[in-house]
Amino acid sequence: MQDSVLGGPLGPARLPTLDPLADARRLLRQAARVPYSAARPQAWATAFRRNAVAARAALARHVRRTQESDAPLPQLDREEPRLHAQIARTVEAHEELLVRTRALVREAEALRRPDVWEMVTMGEKAMLLAEQLERHKSRELAIVYEGHNRDLGGG
């Protein structure tokens, strides 16, 4: 079997989707679920690192997309001044999410012969980051819904 994105022992290869934030969440969850073998700890570290690096790239794609002038948040920021504070907080969150993702990758790159406790710790960090990305996506969707719901005569 192959790793879902980069080749390895986790399933068929999968290409990125049209939603890079969903890709990042999926990759982080996958990293957290990489099977660990005390006999082959480096194999776990390599698979975890691959998924973390791919998640970092997917998050960077998401951030670049949301900065494009025709993206939903910049459009709403121009058209709906009442949503400016919410949009600004959501955009500011991108940098924090990128910092956390880079930190996870740095930690993964520093692993040499991880023991079971390091595997558990890194898996928990990956899952927490995936949950943060999920909440971020929910906030983005709520802003877009609020902007378009008003336009349609609701709220």
Whether the CA torsion 68, 71, 77, 79 is positive or negative: it is positive
Cα–Cα separations (whole angstroms), residue 140 to 12, 65, 99? 30, 13, 19
pTM for the model:
0.84
Say yes or no to pLDDT of 65 above 60: yes
Mind listing the pLDDT tens digit for each residue in 4-44? Answer: 444 444 443 466 778 999 999 999 999 999 999 999 999 99
